[in-house]
Each structure stands twice: as C-alpha cells, then as structure tokens.
Amino acid sequence: MPRIAFTPNLRRHLDCPTQDAPGTTLRAALDAVFAGNPRLRAYLLDEHGRLRKHVTIFINDRPSADRTTLSDALAPADEVFVFQALSGG
C-alpha cells in the first residue's frame, strides 16, 4: 500500500500523520486519506479538485505529472510526499 507523508508545515495546521493509503492512482490514495481527514482536502485541492498552485506532490523521487486529475499510477511500495510551498521574506 502506498505511504503518504506530509510536510511539518501541513502537520502544524492539521492532524495529517504519515499513513498508508490504498489506491492505484494518486487520486484514489488521496481520496482514502481525505475520507479520514476531510479538512485536508481544502488545503491540497481547489474547488475543482485540482492540486492547488502552491502544493507539490512527489511520488518517490519524481514530481506528480498530473496536477489536474491526479491520475499518476501508484505501486504498493511507492512513497508519496506532499509539500506546501512557503513564501514570504
């Protein structure tokens, strides 16, 4: 089962520990995580279900290729890392 980890910045605002999530696509795995933490969806996805501008997701060592439908394939041993960009001076 893919493992999904969130940056400390996200964990500071929401309870989103690293967890295993079923799914063969990034969308399916994230939907499984959102089922247990609905507030997290609004932090990561916009009102159309697309990845927000300041959120980046890596699958193992490569960035997610599909920011719109999140159709990237996941294998059981994959590690997914969710980053929220920080800005400011």
**41-50 pLDDT tens trace:** 999 999 999 9
Confidence check: pLDDT of 36 > 60: yes
Can you say whether the dihedral through the CA atoms of 77, 65, 21, 80 is positive or negative? positive
Please report, for the chain, how many H helices and E strands are present, in that order. Answer: 3, 5
Supply the pLDDT for residue 76.
97
pLDDT at residue 4 above 70? yes
Please check the confidence at residue 87 and state whether its pLDDT lies above 80. Answer: no
pLDDT in tens, 53-64: 999 999 999 999
pTM (global) more than 0.75? yes
Give the model's pLDDT for residue 21: 97
Give start and end residues of each alpha helix (H) in 1-89: 8-13, 26-36, 38-44
Domains defined along the chain, listed by start: 3-84 (3.10.20.30)
